[in-house]
Every structure is written in C-alpha cells, then in structure tokens.
Amino acid sequence: MNDIPPEGMVIDWDVPVTMDDGIVLRADIFRPARPGRYPVLLNHGPYGKGLSCQEAYASAWQVMVDEYPEVLEGSSNRYQAWETIDPEKWVPDGYVCMRVDSRGAGTSQGVMDLWSPRETQDYYDCIEWAGTQDWSNGKVGLIGISYYAINQWQVAGLQPPHLAAICVWEGGSDFYRDLFRHGGIVSDISSGPWYTGQVLAVQHGKGGNGKRSAITGALVAGPETLDEETLRANRTELPDQVLEHRFDDDFYRSRLPDFAKIDVPLLAAANWGGAGIHLRGTIEGYLAAGTKKKWLRVHGNSHVAPFYLDNSIAYQKTFFGQFLKGEDTGWDQQPPVDLKIRHPGERFASRAEQEWPLARTDWQRHYLRPDLTLRREAQAGPPLSYETMGEGLTFLMPAFDEDVEITGPLALKLFVSSKTTDADIFAVFRLFDSAGVETLFIGANDSAQPLTLGWLRASHRKLDPVRSLPYRPYHAHREAEPLTPGEIAELDVEIWPTSIVVPKGHRIGLTIRGKDYENAPHYAPQSSATMRGVSSLYHRSEKDRPAEIFDSINTLHFDPERAPYLLLPVIPSATGDAPIDWFAHLRGAPMRIG
C-alpha cells in the first residue's frame, strides 16, 4: 500500500478525539505541510472515512467522471470519500480537511445511534477539538452532501464557539417530513439499501468482514471482527424506530435542529430533483435559520456531480475564504438566492433573486374537474373513484399557448372519501409534450423522474395553524383522525417545490394515486440498479400500509361548495432568460443557447 501523501500535504490517520463521556472517535486529518494555522473543514458521519468513492460507489463514481472528466483533474483522487470534499483540491489553498467516523461507525467505538442528540454532541466536541489544535486558526467550517449536510443543521443549532460557517449541500432538516415519513407515510429509505449498504456495511466491528483502505491497508470498520449479535447490540435499529414512532414525537423532535440558534454564515444548496429526501428540508432550513448571513442556491442534475465540478468548488471556496480566512473574495456580491431555472432537456438559466418564494409570484388556483382537466374555473360534477393500487387519476391542463414558468412550492386541496378508515394520497406533478409523452428529468434520486411529488395520509390531515402557509401546508402529525368510510374529508397536501419553464404546446398534469409513482423501468448507472422514477424512495411497508386499509377505493369529490384545486407558483412573463446546458458550461464546453 502506498500511503505517501502528495507533496505539500501531511496526513494524520486515525487520530483519537475523546468525547465528553470518554468514548474515542477517530479522525483522518489532511493539512498543509508548511507550518502555520489554517481554517478547518470538517465532516462527521457514519459512511467510513477510510472508504474511497471508487471502492464504495464504483458505478456512481465512474458515471460522474465519464460525464465530467474535470473531476479527475488536479488530483490523484486517492483520498476522495463519498459526499465529502477532495483534500487534494483544498489543502493546497490553505485548508485543513478533517474527517471523523461518527460514534459506532468506521474506526470509532461506541453505540451507533444515527442523528441522535448524542451523535450531535459528539459533532460539537469534534468542532471544538479541531478549533483548538496548534495547526488551526480557530475557525471551523462544515461542508458535505446528504448525511454530512443534514447533521450540520443539528450541530450549528448548538452554537459551538469555534464554528464559523456551514455549507449544507442537499441535506434535509426535518426527520419526520423530509426523510422518514412523507405526509405521515413510512419511506423505504429507513430500511432500504441506504441503511443496509451504506451504514451497516461500515459499522464499527465489521472488521475483517468489511473492506480495507486502498491507501493504508487498514480495516475501514475497525480492527476487531464482532459477531452479528454483538453488532446489533451496538446500534439502535433505525427501521424499527421509524415504524414504532408513528407521529412527530420526541424521537423526531430530539433530532430537529434549533434553527433559530444557527448564527453562523450559511450556504444552502438544494436540487430540484430532490423530492423525497433533501429538497424540502434544505429550503425550509434556509428559511428558518436565525443567521442574517445566509444564501440559497437551487440547481438541477444529479445528487453528487454538481458538488464536485470546478465551478462549484470555486463557489464554495469563495464562501469559505470570506468567512474562514477573512479574505475579501467578493462574496458580498452574491445574491441571497441563486436559482438555476429548469427547462426540458436538462437546460438551466441562472438567475439571481432576493427571496424565496419569489415575491412576484402569481399564485394561481387550477381546479381539478370531473372531466379530468385542470382549469382556472371550477366545475361541479359527479365524484370520481380510483383503485388505490392502480394508476390513479390524471388531470391535464390545456396545452400552453406560450412559455410559462412555474417556480416555487405547490399546494393541493382535495375532498376525499374512502371505503376504509384511511387513505394515502400520492400526488405527482408532471410535464407532457405536445404528443402527450411525459417529459422526465435527471434528478438527485433517479435519472428519469417527474417534476415533483407530494404525499399525505388522510388520518394525518390536521394542520398546524401557526406554521401553515397558503402555499405550504404544514401538518401537525401528532395524532390520527381516522376517516369514516364513505364520508368526505378535506385534505391539504404539500407538494415539494419545483422549477420548470413549460414550453409552448406542452401540458402540465397532476396524478392522484394511492401508491408510488412509477414509469417505464430504466437502468440507473449511478446506482447499478433498475429504477422506475423514484429511485429506492418507495413507501411499501406492509406494517405501515396494511392492505385491508390502503388497498381499497378512494373517491374524489367535486361539489359546488367543495372545489379541489392545485395552487401553482407562476412567475410572470416566463423570465425571458436564455436556457443553457449549464453543466456543460461549467465544464468549459461552449454554451448552448436554447
């Protein structure tokens, strides 16, 4: 094994960092060889700091570098770990990169309890340790994707004294609503390949049953090999916890960040294609954060590639240079909101904004009608029923006679009855071309997905009147209110934000179903799996969705006094911005004007 670091870099492997209860976590630290004090960029999480992208996610890595070869430039990529920054691209610019295996993961001892208050306190302790080392300038920044973004919200709310800035890149913030129980419905993410393949595969104690570092040869998940019974005793089982906790109780609230106490500069980056995991929470976290120094960017394309492109790294360095180094990087010219407005064909127009949602939004009600259309005028008529395990009902707008931009959150009002005591609503916001073929998009979760999604369990229909907004219903999720079979219930469904400039001749569609959206099977090389439009983010738990309740018939009602509608965020005048192949432009390829 070759563990000789690049020239100009010192690497300290498996450095012990002792927590306040005596448990020892282990960190890999990449720092400039020249003497001095430098800002620290820190990650803390359960994915195994010694496991490279190429080893753990070979297909995803290969797809990314094939499409964006600039990722390979200027680095050997030997130290590139999943969803974290590449030390070879940051250390030469005077940053220390520190990766810590969280409690019970990788080479760190202890009981694994994902996103728990204990794990968040550990993160706090790591930040304070990093901020007081003789190679540190006392300013610690946080940066990373997904897990390494989600826990930034949590720890920033504890206000570690040495924390100076955070870059939350595609990281949800509400564990109930964003991740594990969409609209009250259990998401497979808690028990699917993410949990078994990314987390349990590197639990501390896997030892010889796990992988070795391609650089040091050390076992990624600790030197000892424990039996499965001992491993289970050394972790809390997230799938069981999610099933057990039906409502937004102390289990979820103990993991909810104290947003008002986030007082450091914040850069939040979301993805239009992130419905079902990170999109909502990134935007909601940005809005709720107490700091006055905060910026939001919303882009498109896949989950990881935008993070690693040269343009994005320069963007991140401009942010951290301002707040960790005290340099005048020009960041003060950055608009509060930077949107990449989406057009079909993965084309985007970059636009500066001052707020979210946009103040000039024309909030339009488009009524669901019994003739299966979506129009500005309501229409009373006979109810429509659908089998919940079938294809549901799709309501279509007339073809647009000009380009129209829809950017922002959506809300859906329905009047529903069921043959049973509950009903799960799956709402799918879709785009169809002039021939009636659905236009699909590359997204964070799937390579061919619809515009956006929304969910609600009817028994969870009670709203929080303080937190609800006309365009963003907020459900309390504190108790169940069963349906009376055959009686009509009023439902307000939150549909996650989106952005699309609908071309002339295209149509918007809204599908109401009783199960997950699916399209034609397609191979997703980034995960080496066949997908159907929602990646692995299904809602298929038989314990959560027993067939005797949810395999039934639901009915939508269109009475004069009960007119269902979709609230759309229409942006006046369709912007006039020229769409570009934004990601090709980042690669330095010629800009293609649409």
The per-residue DSSP string of 538-576 comes to ----TTTS-HHHHSSEEEEEEBTTB--EEEEEEEGGG--
Q: Collect all residues with Cβ–Cβ distance below 8 Å to 266 and sequence separation of at least 6.
A: 156, 165, 166, 168, 286, 289, 291, 293, 294, 295
Mean pLDDT across 280-301 = 98
Write out the E strands in 9-92: 9-18, 24-32, 38-45
pLDDT digits (tens, 9 = 90+) for 492-505: 999 999 999 999 99
- Chosen domain end from 316, 334, 352: 334
The CA-based diameter of the chain, rounded to the nearest angstrom, is 77
pLDDT at 525 over 70: no
Q: Are residues 314 and 375 located together in one domain of the fold? A: no
Whether 532 maps to a domain, the answer reads: yes
Mean pLDDT on 322-343: 98
Q: Tell whether 180 is covered by a domain.
A: no
| Least confident piece of the model among 214-228, 259-273, 565-579 | 565-579
pLDDT number for residue 579: 53
With a pLDDT cut of 90, the percent of the chain lying above it is 91
> Does pLDDT of 585 surpass 50?
no
Q: With 70 as the cut, is the pLDDT of residue 132 above it?
A: yes
pTM: 0.95
**How many whole angstroms separate alpha carbon 474 and alpha carbon 468?**
5
Q: Lowest mean pLDDT of 23-32, 365-374, 438-447, 526-535, name the range.
A: 526-535
Mean pLDDT value across residues 212-226: 95
Same domain? 326 vs 439: no
Mean pLDDT of 442-455: 95
C-alpha span between 431 and 508 (Å, rounded): 5
431 with 520, same domain? Answer: yes
pLDDT value at 6 more than 60: yes
Could you report the per-residue pLDDT of 373-389, keeping only the tens digit for each? 999 999 999 999 999 99
Domain contains 354: no
Report if residue 278 sits inside a domain. Answer: no
Q: Tokens representing 73?
A: 């430039």
Amino acid (one-letter) located at 418: S
pLDDT of residue 99: 98
| Pair (90, 160) in one structural domain | yes
Q: Are strands 565-571 and 381-387 parallel, antiparallel or unpaired?
A: unpaired
Q: What is the spatial distance between Cα 137 and Cα 265, in angstroms, rounded to a whole number?
A: 17
Identify whether 297 is part of a domain: no
Residues 324 and 447 grouped into a single domain: no
Read off φ and ψ for residue 190, nearest 5 degrees. Answer: -70, -20
Q: What is the DSSP-derived secondary structure letter of residue 194?
A: I
Give the integer Cα–Cα distance in Å for 410 and 424: 18
The domain in which residue 398 lies consists of 362-574
Residue 3 — very low, low, confident or very high, per pLDDT cuts 50/70/90?
A: confident
Tokens of 161: 């004294």
Find the mean pLDDT for residues 101-106.
Answer: 98
Tokens of 571: 């942006």
Both 509 and 423 in one domain: the answer is yes
Q: Is residue 147 part of a domain?
A: yes
Hey, what are 376's tokens?
Answer: 């500005």
Instruction: Identify the CA nearest to 218 among candidates 393, 1, 429.
Output: 1
pLDDT value of position 277: 95
pLDDT for 60: 86
Distances from the Cα of 260 to the Cα of 150, 161, 329, angstroms: 16, 16, 27
Of the candidates 71, 79, 19, which has an alpha carbon nearest to the alpha carbon of residue 52?
79
Q: Residue 361: left if φ>0, alpha if ψ -120 to 50, beta else—which one?
A: beta
92-113 mean pLDDT: 98
Q: Does the pLDDT at position 491 exceed 70?
A: yes
Q: Per residue in 546-563, pLDDT tens?
A: 999 999 999 999 999 999
Per-residue pLDDT at 526 exceeds 80: no
**Are 324 and 413 part of one and the same domain?**
no
Is 260 part of a structural domain of the chain? no
Do 445 and 553 reside in the same domain of the chain?
A: yes
Same domain, 16 and 137: yes
Q: Residue 26's closest CA among 163, 146, 129, 136?
A: 129
Is 405 in contact with 571 (CB distance < 8 Å)?
yes
Residue with tokens 């002792």: 18
Q: Are residues 18 and 151 in the same domain?
A: yes
Do residues 375 and 322 both lie within one domain? no
Average pLDDT over residues 305-311: 96
Per-residue exposure over 539-567, b if at least 16 CB sit within 10 Å of its own CB, e if not: bebeebbeeebbebbbbbbbeeeebbbbb
Place of tokens 């488009």: 366
Measured CA distances, 71 to 191, 289, 293, 367, 531 (Å)? 32, 32, 30, 46, 26
**pLDDT, the chain, mean:** 94
- Say what the pLDDT of residue 528 is: 66
Residues 31 and 115 both lie in one domain? yes
Instruction: Give a yes or no: residue 341 inside a domain.
Output: no
Do you find a cis peptide bond into 569, omega within 30 degrees of 0?
no
Supply the CATH number for residue 315's domain: 3.40.50.1820
In the chain, how many domains are there?
Answer: 2
CATH of residue 504? 2.60.120.260
